[in-house]
């Protein structure tokens, strides 16, 4: 009897194993059916990885680009007033292409800055952050095989956005023209011949980012004219990502490429309330440009996001209305933010130099690239396994020193990642006390190595 039960158990076991194998086979075929569609590469994201690292090791986080201080009070109180307002409609859906009060405020502002009358309802689209403005632009203007020229290093979403729309990214790196002395973002330039050689009949457009993340470059009039002439010659678009438009340090001057002769017609310019008002969590952005080009974005937007958060748009609109009243005055946030950031930039450049790095002083934005190669002997690069040295450096520094930066090779195409391996990106839109802490930690660590 015992044997019979034993045999039966064995038979049942076999049956169970068979069933399980069948299930595994059918499970894997079911799973492959649900793989990420081929238009999306299942690549690891530097943000997911480094936010995870920050949560685990709790370093001083100079990695991600957001302020750790309060937004202007008139902007945050505008939101508080809006959500508790007597008008119930301010908490309901609003116009899909942009809340009327916000498109009107943006229309007033950019009409003034561009010195042309923008049609607020037709030439401006409000989006879920500048991110969605980029997405709607690239989805709405890319046919399979269209080429987009991308300047390296680049804000990392440009490439997956181009490729998932069926486009082809063509890269051109900014190169440092200087290796000694104080480096400025103005020393990072593109090679004109190389730029010229990328334009051809398949070129749909070029993505420009000025002021630039992560280098901080503010493109000069001469550079913009060169790009504009090529865009006109090849009948190409310019997507101008200007989310850091108000963070520019004298003597640099932000020039909107849309204001150059015959360029408005072929330019889509992108902005961000998150960056403008130091409220990155609000995720409201916009794109503006001529009606025919904007229609493509609207088609994508209405089939995806459809409409953005009403109270946030109302509050951003109130923020702009207030700043328009203050425009040109000391207390206008468009100017005061850059004034506030300037000493932070200089403080960071100094402590990075004191520690032995070679920073590039940015003309705009709130990031700083620094070359850490001279610290190589003090860092346990061998303790980390990543392919690129900047990943190993930033991970080791996070775990062992307690200061986190971002590896800039994440902002290059595979073939050019080696160009960024000796660099790290830090963010300086942080409270003075936190920058001071980062400086102290780095200096103490460095002193121990001497």
Q: Which residues sit at the interface with ligand PLP, rule CB under 6 A?
A: 65, 129-131, 155, 209, 213, 241, 243, 272, 274, 280, 283, 285
Distance CA(237)–CA(248), nearest Å, equals 25
Of the candidates 166, 163, 165, 169, the residue with the CA atom closest to the CA atom of residue 147: 169
Nearest approach, Cβ of 14 to ligand PLP (angstroms)?
Answer: 57
Nearest distance from C-beta of residue 437 to ligand PLP, angstroms? 23
Looking at the Cβ atoms of 109 and 379, the one nearer to ligand PLP is 109
Cα(first)–Cα(last) distance of the chain, in Å? 80
In terms of CB distance, is 127 or 142 closer to ligand PLP?
127
Nearest to 317 by CA among 111, 107, 116: 107
Nearer to ligand PLP (CB atom), residue 256 or residue 389: 256
Contact of 143 with 166, CB cutoff 8 Å: yes
Contact (CB, 8 A) for 353 and 368 = no
CB of 286 to ligand PLP, least distance (A): 9
Q: Indicate the residue among 358 and 363 with the shorter CB distance to ligand PLP.
A: 363
What torsion, rounded to 10 degrees, do the Cα atoms 366, 367, 370, 375 define?
100
192's tokens: 């004109």
What tokens appear for 446 in the block?
């460095």
Q: Rounded to the nearest whole angstrom, what is the least distance from the CB of residue 400 to ligand PLP in the complex?
A: 27
In this structure, the strands spanning 285-288 and 267-272 are antiparallel
Record the tokens describing residue 114, joined without a space. Answer: 């561009």
Shortest reach from residue 157's CB to ligand PLP, in Å: 7
Closer CB to ligand PLP, 283 or 389, in the complex: 283
Q: Tell me how far, at minimum, the Cβ of 12 lies from ligand PLP, in Å.
A: 57
SS3 87: coil
Nearer to ligand PLP, 284 or 439 (CB): 284
Backbone angles phi, psi at 271, to 5 degrees: -135, 170
For the stretch 41-44, contacts whose Cβ atoms lie closer than 8 Å and that sit 24 or more positions apart, written own/partner, are 41/160, 41/163, 43/160
Cβ proximity to ligand PLP, 65 vs 216, nearer residue: 65
Task: Provide the token pair at 29.
Answer: 């075929």
Taking CB atoms, the residue at the shortest distance from ligand PLP is: 129
Residue 150 beta carbon to ligand PLP: minimum distance, rounded to whole angstroms: 12
Is residue 349 exposed (0-12), middle (13-18) or buried (19+ Cβ within 10 Å)? buried
């Amino acid at each position: 009897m015992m044997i019979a039960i034993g045999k039966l158990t064995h038979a049942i076991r076999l049956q169970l194993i068979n069933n399980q194998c069948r299930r595994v086979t059918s499970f894997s075929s079911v799973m492959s059916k649900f793989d990420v569609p081929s238009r999306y590469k299942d690549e690891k994201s530097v943000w997911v990885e480094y936010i995870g690292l920050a949560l685990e090791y709790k370093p001083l986080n100079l990695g991600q680009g957001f302020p750790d201080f309060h937004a202007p009070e008139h902007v945050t109180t505008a939101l508080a007033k809006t959500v508790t307002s007597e008008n119930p409609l301010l908490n309901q859906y609003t116009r899909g292409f942009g809340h009327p009060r916000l498109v009107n405020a943006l229309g007033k502002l950019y009409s003034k800055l561009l010195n042309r009358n923008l049609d607020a309802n037709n030439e401006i689209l409000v989006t879920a952050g500048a991110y969605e403005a980029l997405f709607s632009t690239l989805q709405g203007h890319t046919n399979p095989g269209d080429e987009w020229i991308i300047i390296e290093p680049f804000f990392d979403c440009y490439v997956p956005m181009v490729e998932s729309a069926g486009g082809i990214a063509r890269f051109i790196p900014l190169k440092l023209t200087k290796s000694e002395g104080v480096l400025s973002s103005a020393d990072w330039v593109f090679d004109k011949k190389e730029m010229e050689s990328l334009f051809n009949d398949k070129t749909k457009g070029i993505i420009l980012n000025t002021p630039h993340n992560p280098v901080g470059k503010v493109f000069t009039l001469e550079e913009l004219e060169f790009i504009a002439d090529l865009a006109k010659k090849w009948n190409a678009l310019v997507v101008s990502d200007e989310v850091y438009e108000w963070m520019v340090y004298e003597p640099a001057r932000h020039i909107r490429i849309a204001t150059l002769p015959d360029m408005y017609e072929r330019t889509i310019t992108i902005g961000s309330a998150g960056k403008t008002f130091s409220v990155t969590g609000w995720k409201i952005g916009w794109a503006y440009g001529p009606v025919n080009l904007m229609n493509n974005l609207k088609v994508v937007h209405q089939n995806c996001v459809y409409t953005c958060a009403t109270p946030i748009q109302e509050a951003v609109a109130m923020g702009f209305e207030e700043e328009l009243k203050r425009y040109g005055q000391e207390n206008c946030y468009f100017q005061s933010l850059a004034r506030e950031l300037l000493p932070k930039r200089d403080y960071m450049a100094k402590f990075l130099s004191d520690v032995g790095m070679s920073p590039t002083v940015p003309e705009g934005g709130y990031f700083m690239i620094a070359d850490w190669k001279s610290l190589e002997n003090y860092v346990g690069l061998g303790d980390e396994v990543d392919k690129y040295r900047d990943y190993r450096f930033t991970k080791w520094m996070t775990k062992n020193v307690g200061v986190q930066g971002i590896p800039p090779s994440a902002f290059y195409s595979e073939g050019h990642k080696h160009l960024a391996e000796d660099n790290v990106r830090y963010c300086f839109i942080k409270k003075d006390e936190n920058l001071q802490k980062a400086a102290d930690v780095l200096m103490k660590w460095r002193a121990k190595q001497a």
